[in-house]
Structure 1
Amino acid sequence: MRQFFDSLVFAAVLVAIWQGLHWFAGDIAIASPGVTAERAMVLLGSPSFWGHFRETFSALGYALAIAVLGGMTIGLVLGLHRLSGEVAEPILVSLYSLPKITLYPLILLIFGLGMSAKVAFGAIHGIIPVAIFTMGAVKTIAPVYFKTARVLQLSRRQLVATVVIPAAIPELVSGLRVGFSLTLLGVLIGEMFASQRGLGFLVMNAIGTLDVPTMMAVVLLLALVAVMISAGLLYLDRRLHHRVA
């Protein structure tokens, strides 16, 4: 109950700051919370908006699946082989710090315009964080589990399925939470620069026509959906870590 009340207070403070910025900057720079909410309701009643919404979250689903499966595979392989993990970890961290927007021309050359480019750009944002979290999760597994697996003469596949993944699930969920946010960011950036559909395209189109209320309404709706999904993943993350503790 206390956490819910704190969230309401935080939301009220954000709305108050938003209104203050509107009074300071004016309609040309930022729409008021009331106007933004009205435009958001109009968008929710528009069939074309839901087409753009489905486009964005379809791309997000594909990109997130690639990022999670690819990142977990890389993390498990490197985490189970200590030397490879020690060599690859600083490389992965360096790649993670690389501004991904610099790779966008290459993505366009390889995948062209459309869904495939958005999926690829979203996946490259999320795959490295998931790999790093997965590798860290494997490294923190108690050595006694691996000794027991050797005594039981488990195969590598059995070791991963019955020991490594169950023991690493809390950290894997943490990686999924971070990977979701970054993958969504990558998909939206892809839609902003080279797409004619999706929520990112709507934002850029509104900016181009100086339609500030529509721009902010799309951002607001997108933020609400992202916050709800992230909150669900955060709740699951805390429950799993609490259970382990």
Structure 2
Amino acid sequence: MSAQTMQTTGAKGLFKTPAKARLAVIATGIAVWEIGAHMYGDDDFLPTASRTALAVVELLQRPTIWSALGYMAGALLVGFAIAMVFGTVLGMIIGRNRTAYLTFFPIIVLLYTIPQVTLLPLFVLAFGVGTEVKIVYGLTHGFFPIVVCVIAGAQNINPVLLTAAHSMGASRRQIFQRIVFPFIVPSLFTGMRLGMSAVLIGVILAELYASQRGVGYYIRHYSETFESHNLFALVLLVSVTGIVMNEILRRAERHFSRWRL
């Protein structure tokens, strides 16, 4: 077997397994970051990957950082929960009623297109600089992806199945459990995963501009004091938080979609 054939076979074997492919992409990205920062970077602006990793360890030894992460996570969870409940209920109502769809869906799309960062000063005036503004501003980011996805899922429910279930005397609970919910699960969890990321962005933005605590406050502080290694480390910790929550939602989606496997 020639060397070229062996290399081709090895590459195919690597990318046949998604986990190996992901690890290869991540390792390549870290290597490019490390080498590029050494060759072209300035430590005041672009620290190396190894320096950032050390900064992560240092930050995790500070109680103030743990407090900031907990503060952010609490606002994120509350805002996401509220956005999920209201987005799901409203999405089902609008998606299953033609009159409600024609009336309210254009309004929702219109509101969704407004750059919400321009509204942050209004939220600060209305709710102050406490926890409330982070929760409200975060949930307004997550609400729209959820409600739009649920509306799309509710409109895709096969009406033939609903008619058949009604004709066979199925109760509302049975219809929801056996037909409606399975149909909207993919759209619902797509909206939830998009909404969770959007809520996280909203909370961080609120902390950046309207807080004296939280992750956003420390991001602004490290940026203004040119502590780029701590800035990158904190961004990395926020990214890990988002990845963990996304993975929890992905596993929940697999659990509720077992009938599709």
TM above 0.5 = yes
Q: CA deviation at 1:231?
A: 3.4
Q: Distance in 1 between matches of 2:226 and 2:194?
A: 33
What is the TM-score normalised by the length of structure 1?
Answer: 0.90
1:5 matches 2:20: yes
1:120 matches 2:167: no
Quick one: which of 46, 56, 65 aligns to 1:40?
Answer: 56
Stretch deviating more after TM superposition (78-87 or 2-11):
78-87
Instruction: Point out where structure 1 has 5 or more consecutive residues left out of the alignment.
Output: none
Q: Distance in 2 between matches of 1:48 and 1:93?
A: 40
Aligned residue identity for 2:125: L
Q: Distance in 2 between matches of 1:72 and 1:158?
A: 19
1:96-135 matches, within 5 Å, as 96-135=112-151
Q: Distance in 1 between matches of 2:104 and 2:36?
A: 45
Q: CA deviation at 1:227?
A: 1.8
Q: Distance in 2 between matches of 1:61 and 1:231?
A: 15
Structure 2 CA distance for partners of 1:153 and 1:238, relative to 1, 3 Å: closer
Stretch deviating more after TM superposition (10-19 or 50-59):
10-19
Aligned residue identity for 2:26: A
Quick one: which of 15, 26, 38 aligns to 2:30?
Answer: 15
Stretch deviating more after TM superposition (207-216 or 162-171):
162-171
Q: Distance in 2 between matches of 1:45 and 1:153?
A: 57
Q: Distance in 2 between matches of 1:193 and 1:149?
A: 52
Q: CA deviation at 1:173?
A: 1.2
Q: Distance in 2 between matches of 1:112 and 1:55?
A: 16
Aligned residue identity for 2:31: A
1:48-127 matches, within 5 Å, as 48-127=64-143
Aligned residue identity for 2:106: P
Larger Rg: 2
Q: What is the CA deviation profile of residues 169-216 of structure 1, one whole-angstrom value per residue up to 9, with x for unaligned ones?
A: 222111111111111111111110111111111111111111111111
Aligned residue identity for 2:67: G
Q: Secondary structure at the match of 1:31?
A: coil
Q: Distance in 2 between matches of 1:188 and 1:43?
A: 18
Q: What is the CA deviation profile of residues 65-89 of structure 1, one whole-angstrom value per residue up to 9, with x for unaligned ones?
A: 1110111111011011013213433
8 Å Cα contact 2:182/2:257 also seen in 1: no
Quick one: which of 158, 161, 168 aligns to 1:142?
Answer: 158
**What is residue 187 of structure 1 aligned with on the other side?**
203
What is the TM-score normalised by the length of structure 2?
Answer: 0.85
Q: Distance in 2 between matches of 1:49 and 1:170?
A: 36
Q: Distance in 2 between matches of 1:223 and 1:243?
A: 32
Structure 2 CA distance for partners of 1:240 and 1:14, relative to 1, 3 Å: farther
**What is residue 222 of structure 1 aligned with on the other side?**
238
Q: Secondary structure at the match of 2:213?
A: coil
Percentage of matched positions with identical amino acids: 29
Q: CA deviation at 1:149?
A: 4.6
8 Å Cα contact 1:21/1:30 also seen in 2: no
Q: Distance in 1 between matches of 2:36 and 2:111?
A: 37
